[in-house]
Structure 1
Amino acid sequence: MAEILVLYYSRGGSVAALARQIARGIEEVPGMQARLRSVPPVAVQTEVAQPPVPEEGAPYVSKRDLEECAALALGSPTRFGNMAAPVKHFIDTLGAEWASGSLVDKPACVFTSTASMHGGQESTLLSMMVPLLHHGCLITGIPFHGTALSDTRTGGTPYGASHYAGPRDDNTLSEDEAALARGLGTRLARVTRAMQHA
């Protein structure tokens, strides 16, 4: 059973909801299993140790999760058109993994959520792709053909799954958002399985 790491940071629950849908999509593919992990929050003093297990939700990620995964789905809320600081902070600690090539040739995808309709979903997704490309990941997105991308009136982009939470931070995904996230997970898993049998 190949495991795909679904790694995310979520403050209001929207990114976590997308992560669960991506995990469902992954597990629709025979031989594939999702491993949900979260990134710990950071504070002004980032040297403060975080507890090894959060009080609720997915466990915090370890470097071992990156080594063991067959592929990676990375998610973050949008902060001014960019990934949130906890995700960037975690990525910035991956120098040894970059040097060893632990993510080279692993398929990857990205996902996000915003409080405003034009709050920078696509730029956030692109910002998360850049370090993944530096690590040698093979990026996959959502094709327009055969998906809800042409119909959605909320989240969803060709660069990755997304959710429009609105000013009240509603973490309930629309039908299209959920379908696109599941479809992205399934696509990532199919690409991963195809590469394993190549």
Structure 2
Amino acid sequence: MTKILVLYYSSYGHIEQMAQAVADGARESGADVVIKRVPEIVPPDVAGAYGFKLDQAAPIAVPDELADYDGIVFGVPTRFGGMAAQMRNFLDQTGGLWHSGALIGKVASMFTSSATQHGGQEATILTSIPTFLHHGMIIVGLPYSNTDLTLLDEVSGGTPYGASTISGSDNKRQPSERELGLARAQGRYVAQVASRQRQGDDAHAPQAE
């Protein structure tokens, strides 16, 4: 069975909700899905003062386990148009995986959030892609076959690079049904691509005589 990891960081719970939707979509495609998060690196007193959601159910991941999955969907909020430091810190610890080539050929995809409608969602995903390419991963986005990407009747996240949500400057806006639907679609698509990739790898594996 294709194994998918949804690995995320979420300060206020928006990315946490999107991660659940991505996982639901991947499971709909028959994948074995695990949701984990990266460690918080903000001091507890500061995180508490800013109202961070610290009681998240997902267990903490360790870098070496990324090699155990066929595909990894990264959920990362934008910080000034780039990846949040918590995920950057985690990925900076994957040098051993890079050295051994452990992630080559695995599927990578990403979803994100921002406070405002034009707050750097696409920039965050696009500037993260080089990290995945350095690991030799196969990049998967969110195709325009998901027609909700083209609708203009409401304020909504969603890009061809990956699903996204908008939190509002006070972080009170929650992911909409449309945004969660795009996240589920991304999960389904990642699982399908990872399954095909896994089957291709198995077909080319050395056969015992």
1:9-28 aligned at under 5 Å gives the runs: 9-28=9-28
- The alignment's C-alpha RMSD in Å is 1.5
Question: SS of 2:109's equivalent?
Answer: strand
Task: Return the letter of the residue paired with 1:22.
Answer: V
The answer for the alignment partner of 1:51 in structure 2 is none
Q: Please give the per-residue CA displacement for 1:85-130, whole angstroms capped at 9, x wherever unaligned.
A: 1111111111101011111100110011111111100000112222
Larger radius of gyration: 2
2:171 aligned partner: 169
User: Where does 1:38-187 land on structure 2 (aligned, <5 Å)?
Assistant: 38-43=37-42, 55-151=55-151, 153-170=155-172, 172-187=174-189
The answer to whether the 8 Å contact 2:163/2:186 transfers is yes
Query: Residue 12 of structure 1 contacts residue 171 of structure 1 at CA under 8 Å; is this kept in 2?
Result: no
TM-score normalised by the chain length of structure 1: 0.90
5+ long unaligned stretches in structure 1: 45-53
Tell me the equivalent position of 2:32.
Answer: 33
For 1:197, what is the secondary structure of its paired residue? helix
Take 2:32 and 2:147, find their aligned partners in 1: how far apart are those partners? 23
**TM-aligned CA deviation for residue 171 of structure 1:** 5.3
Deviates more, 1:146-155 or 1:186-195: 146-155
SS at 2:125's partner residue?
A: helix
CA distance in 2, matches of 1:14, 1:171: 9
1:55, distance to aligned residue in structure 2 (A):
4.9
TM-score of the two chains, using structure 2 as the length reference: 0.85
For 1:121 and 1:97, the matched residues in 2 are separated by 27
Amino acid at match of 1:69: Y
| Shift in Å, 1:156 | 0.2
Which whole-Å deviations, capped at 9, do the CAs of 1:134-162 have from their partners, x for residues lacking one?
Answer: 10110011111243100153100001010
Q: What is the CA distance between 1:43 and its match in structure 2? A: 3.9
Distance change >3 Å, CA 117–CA 55, structure 1 → 2? closer
Aligned partners of 1:29 and 1:147: how far apart in 2?
Answer: 19
Tell me the SS of whatever aligns to 1:172. coil
Listed as ranges, the gaps of 5+ residues in structure 2 are 44-53, 201-209
The more displaced of 15-24 and 171-180 is 171-180
Structure-2 change in CA distance of 1:90 and 1:171 (3 Å) = farther
The 2-side partners of 1:72 and 1:82 are apart by: 19
Query: 1 CA distance for matches of 2:112 and 2:146?
Result: 21
